[in-house]
């Protein structure tokens, strides 16, 4: 049962409720972002092209997650970045194709990043939507 609020305390009570709500949503966003980026990184490791050439650093093993921006000064922004720390130069070349080294032709694209981005982008939106709706009903 809710407790009665005096009219002069209504503004303070609403402000406290909204502040708690924003903090809860922020924690949901952070939790969802962390879990989805971790899953997406693992999917990229599985779906990335594997070279037959023996190299010191394998392209598919280089995927990592780094923290992006996290601000709370009114913008409420929280980001994570998935990048290839060992062979970041290859991501664009493999995703979109490129000319051969000797200039005699074209190496076909091996799209692997966009598929994962689309899959986990929609998964992120669905998970976050469910969490926010669940919180609104409570």
Q: Domains of the chain: which residue ranges?
A: 7-137
Rounded average pLDDT over 53-58: 67
Rounded average pLDDT over 42-51: 90
Question: How does DSSP classify residue 105?
Answer: S
Q: Residue 76: is its pLDDT beyond 70?
A: yes
Question: How does DSSP classify residue 9?
Answer: G
> Is residue 112 within 8 Å of 46, Cβ to Cβ?
no
56 or 130: whose pLDDT is higher?
Answer: 130
The pLDDT value given to residue 135: 76
Q: Which range, 21-30, 50-59, 86-95, 118-127, is most confident?
A: 118-127
Q: How far apart are CA 33 and CA 67, in angstroms?
A: 11
Phi first, then psi, for residue 106 (nearest 5°) are -130, 135
Q: For the chain, give the percent of residues with pLDDT over 70.
A: 93
Q: What is the mean pLDDT of the chain?
A: 88
Q: How far apart are CA 31 and CA 3, in angstroms?
A: 32
């Amino acid at each position: 049962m809710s407790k009665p609020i005096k009219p002069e305390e209504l503004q303070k009570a609403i402000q406290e409720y909204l502040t708690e709500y924003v903090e809860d949503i922020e924690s949901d966003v952070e939790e969802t972002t962390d879990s989805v980026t971790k899953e997406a990184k693992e999917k990229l490791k599985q779906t990335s092209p594997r070279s037959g050439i023996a190299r010191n650093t394998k392209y598919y093993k280089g995927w990592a997650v780094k923290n992006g921006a996290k601000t709370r000064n009114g913008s409420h922004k929280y980001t994570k970045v998935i990048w290839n720390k060992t062979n970041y130069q290859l991501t664009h070349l493999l995703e979109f194709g490129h000319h051969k080294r000797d200039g005699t032709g074209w190496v076909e694209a091996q799209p692997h990043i966009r598929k994962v981005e689309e899959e986990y982008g929609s998964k992120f939106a669905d998970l976050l939507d469910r969490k926010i709706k669940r919180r609104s009903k409570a």
